[in-house]
Amino acid sequence: MESNIGAVEFKSIAKGMLVTDEMLKSAPVNLMLATTLCPGKYLTIVEGETSSVEKAVETADRLGGRHVFSSFVINGVNREIIDSISGRSGKVLRGSIGIIESQHMANIISAADVSLDSAEVEIVDFRLGKGCGVNSFYIITGTLAAVEEAVKNAADFLSSLGSLLAFRVIANPDMDLLKWLEPAMCMC
Domain at 160, CATH number:
3.30.70.1710
Q: Show which of 36, 51, 79 is a domain's final residue.
A: 79
Residue 186 has pLDDT above 50, yes or no: no
Cα 58 to Cα 78: distance, rounded to the nearest angstrom: 23
Asked if residue 84 is part of any domain, the answer here is no
- Does one domain contain both 109 and 173? yes
Average pLDDT, the chain: 87
Q: Is residue 114 part of a domain?
A: yes
C-alpha radius of gyration, the chain, whole number: 16
pLDDT at residue 187, as a whole number: 46
The domain of 70 spans 2-79
Same domain, 108 and 176: yes
115 and 65, same domain (yes or no): no
Tell me, yes or no, whether 141 and 70 share the same domain.
Answer: no
Closest C-alpha to 130, from 65, 45, 64, 29 = 45
Q: How far apart are the first and last CA of the chain?
A: 27
* Number of domains composing the chain: 2
Whether 75 and 103 map to the same domain: the answer is no
In a domain, 46, yes or no: yes
Looking at 34, 60, 79, which one is the last position of a domain? 79
Last residue of a domain, one of 79, 99, 123: 79
Model confidence at 184, pLDDT cuts 50, 70, 90, reads: very low
Torsion on CA atoms 164, 123, 184, 98, rounded to nearest 10: -50
**For the segment 113-170, what is each residue's pLDDT rounded down to a tens digit?**
999 999 999 998 888 876 545 688 999 999 999 999 999 999 999 999 999 999 999 9
Q: What is the pTM of this model?
A: 0.79
Strands 136-142 and 68-78: unpaired
Residues 112, 82: Cα–Cα separation, whole Å? 10
> For position 150, what pLDDT does the model report?
98
Residues 118 and 175 in one domain: yes
One DSSP character per residue, 38-80 reads TTTEEEEEEEE-HHHHHHHHHHHHHHHGGGEEEEEEEEEEEHH
Residues 72 and 94 in one domain: no
In a domain, 26, yes or no: yes
Same domain for 105 and 174?
yes
Report the pLDDT averaged over residues 4-31.
95
Cβ atoms of 155 and 146 within 8 Å: the answer is no
Q: Do 165 and 132 belong to one domain?
A: yes
Co-location of 68 and 119 in the same domain: no
Same domain, 71 and 99: no
Does some domain include residue 149? yes
Same domain, 23 and 103: no
- Whether residue 28 is preceded by a cis peptide bond, meaning omega within 30 degrees of 0, is no
